[in-house]
Structure 1
């Protein structure tokens, strides 16, 4: 009853009150997802042409870059013509950040998003509000492929809850509208998992959402405690690789298929599994995806006019697909993402910290960091591998020391290793965080 009221009353009311059109967009997207592939491609081409023209007219970086490359938006007559345009890298975004913001917008009015991206490289991205609303609708659409429905309670195995940054207003909104409970993956131990288990048994969430390895640890803890009555409508795994052995345990314990979702903070949702769980549908209403022969994904944001990202190299390797899905959606597909992985880190107090959350915090908070990787050599020793830029100085080193102390305590020492680059592994994966000591502890938790 409360789920129905929340979906059909609270969400529409709050959207109307705040002037947010995402629910109206959602109705459109629910219909167009079943358009024929050629119709979707034609729609992408028109959106791409509009974005290219806008970028040429209002973004200094693109006008200069494309002029140098000898290309112009009018050259694009079909989607494949985009291949002639220069690739945008993370280094380009860091180096030319404000020059990539459209002059049609006041940057102070844009939404600012800070992220370490998919490779530990800290970036600042700006997004206009209409694009944010469209992206929100796209995400809700794909989330509901999992079996979850907007308005149901949500349980998140995630980092520090964002609503806490907004004081009482944020807490009230979460309690009455978002209805989310959190397992904080920045400070994970048996007691916290047990408390979270009691919470989700009491609240019965329609969706359980989180990092793949956090969902796996939760499932192992439930299995060990012989708790088999948590039955969500949907489970969504995101932010890192979902291994088959993790999927099998999660689905066995929670009695629900896991939906693998893929995205990044820079462009939001990129692709997601549907109810068939056989490959991922590209979010073609928001991004245009290219997979070159090396597998390194390029995405073009079709809706963010504030800071257009065109042929942006995300940093992940994907396996493309040309087949159609049995679900009947005309959205293009990729088979799988090979891209990102991270270990948990064990603290001297016996707590686990999600490596992907940890690296995100370190990369964003350390001044002058171009890329970061954290290696846990022992329970009391960390190695911070870091690609520095010109802004890295003694203040940066002090910030690292403060972060290590605040996160791990006074007994953990650290070394800073400055390197030219942190490469991908031969498999194509980036490992944000490597722990040489957490495995035994995690195996004991999952036994």
Structure 2
């Protein structure tokens, strides 16, 4: 078969697989809807006035009749959302950090763990279950959790760094242990992995290159990615997930967007009327967890914005693509005239300047004043670059608000996270 025919054949196969996954996704939504109205008091009351309550969901258009689940509804109706016959041995209660608003809680259904999806993603990068791994978290995990993790993954070796103000001795030990076990994977929060990368670069320290670096829990500046790849001599994988639904989408080695785990989650990008927007057009994110039968999440409006890509990936995976999330659940910067600058726009504006800083954070007060707190890598260069960034933000806000900046030793933490924007609005 000629290369041209092989390419055409592969394209046909990919299109058929994509159709199969789309059909599976819809069947799972149908089943979840029937389960929710039968077993959850909240969804029974929320949907009982709709036509589909009686007729069922028979088309994608029927599914669009379902009103979104808001974060406020989730926060106020935990007991009614969970199913009536829930067995708590099959569940785990988790809560958000509160970094983007009041904390919400959900139940994870342990009958459908996220581990197989995690290994699907790692397989794309050539990481195997028996290979060693390294992790960087902000805080040290409890002793029991560390011991159980070690026993569960024996004889695989794992090393951990608690990155909340680590000492030079702790950092040196982590580097030594890292080079000793030569992990295939390094995983951690974006900000702490970035801090460790800067430590390596600033001190001219080499480590054994892992197969990939997986960062989570915050949007990723492209300049952060470039510096991390330079420090680790390995590709950095961005992913999209949250406390409520852990693994939604992730990059493959092509790094041309995030593959959506369409067989376990349904994602929509919609306009203000909750109707689908076209590919390559930004819209509100609505999430439906197709595997959680203990605590259904249907068309959950999480507060993010994103967009579909209108092509399949060259890697051959039939899972559809979405753009990398920017400004995840972030507050907007507001002005007295009603102008709102989205977090994703601020990230795009500041990208290209992050190499001068370990961290930045925008705090907007009730009088509209914005203070940009920053932790510089080099004090003088940081000051000069921050003047430029402050001027850029003043222009973007049409000089309607007062914008100041200050150097800090550490930006404000909310739970385990360091939000880019904290606002009193």
The number of residues matched between the two structures is: 334
Q: What is the aligned partner in structure 1 of residue 320 from structure 2?
A: 332
Q: What is the aligned partner in structure 1 of residue 228 from structure 2?
A: 250
- Taking the TM superposition and a 5 Å limit, the aligned residue runs for 1:145-184 are 145-162=124-141, 164-166=143-145, 168-173=147-152, 176=154, 179-184=157-162
Gaps of 5+ in 1: 1-31, 343-372, 374-422
Q: What is the aligned partner in structure 2 of residue 426 from structure 1?
A: 342
Q: What is the aligned partner in structure 2 of residue 439 from structure 1?
A: 374
Listed one character per residue, the Cα deviations across residues 186-237 of structure 1 (whole Å, up to 9, x for unaligned) are: 3345543333222212221110111222222212211222223421011111
Listed one character per residue, the Cα deviations across residues 116-150 of structure 1 (whole Å, up to 9, x for unaligned) are: 26724312211222122xx2211221123233221
Which SS does the other structure have where 1:91 is aligned? helix
Distance 1:424 1:146 in 2: 39
Distance 1:154 1:424 in 2: 42
Distance 1:34 1:156 in 2: 37
Distance 1:234 1:33 in 2: 26
Q: What is the aligned partner in structure 2 of residue 44 from structure 1?
A: 25
Alignment pair present for 1:219 and 2:197: yes
Alpha carbons of 1:130 and 1:54: their partners in 2 closer, same or farther (altered >3 Å)? Answer: same
Q: Say which structure is richer in helix.
A: 1
1:438 CA displacement: 6.2
Whether the 8 Å CA contact 1:164–1:170 is kept in 2: the answer is no
Higher-RCO chain (CA-CA 8 Å, sequence separation at least 6): 1
- Taking the TM superposition and a 5 Å limit, the aligned residue runs for 1:348-427 are 425-427=341-343
Whether the 8 Å CA contact 1:263–1:269 is kept in 2: the answer is yes
Q: What is the aligned partner in structure 2 of residue 302 from structure 1?
A: 290
Alpha carbons of 1:148 and 1:257: their partners in 2 closer, same or farther (altered >3 Å)? Answer: same
Whether the 8 Å CA contact 2:251–2:259 is kept in 1: the answer is yes
Which SS does the other structure have where 1:340 is aligned? coil
Aligned mate of 1:124, from 75, 82, 105: 105
Q: What is the aligned partner in structure 1 of residue 65 from structure 2?
A: 84
1:267 CA displacement: 1.3
Alpha carbons of 1:194 and 1:154: their partners in 2 closer, same or farther (altered >3 Å)? Answer: same
Q: What is the aligned partner in structure 2 of residue 267 from structure 1?
A: 245
Alignment pair present for 1:323 and 2:311: yes
Which SS does the other structure have where 2:112 is aligned? helix
Listed one character per residue, the Cα deviations across residues 257-279 of structure 1 (whole Å, up to 9, x for unaligned) are: 11111101111101000111110
Listed one character per residue, the Cα deviations across residues 85-131 of structure 1 (whole Å, up to 9, x for unaligned) are: 01111111111101001113234652212222672431221122212
RMSD (Å) for aligned C-alpha atoms: 3.2
Whether the 8 Å CA contact 2:209–2:234 is kept in 1: the answer is yes
Distance 1:227 1:125 in 2: 42
Alpha carbons of 1:261 and 1:277: their partners in 2 closer, same or farther (altered >3 Å)? Answer: same
Aligned mate of 1:241, from 195, 205, 219: 219
Distance 1:223 1:103 in 2: 54
Alpha carbons of 1:307 and 1:440: their partners in 2 closer, same or farther (altered >3 Å)? Answer: closer
Distance 2:329 2:300 in 1: 21
Distance 1:319 1:171 in 2: 39
Whether the 8 Å CA contact 1:240–1:340 is kept in 2: the answer is yes
Distance 2:198 2:312 in 1: 35
Q: What is the aligned partner in structure 1 of residue 418 from structure 2?
A: none
Distance 2:329 2:66 in 1: 30
Q: What is the aligned partner in structure 2 of residue 6 from structure 1?
A: none
Alignment pair present for 1:53 and 2:31: no
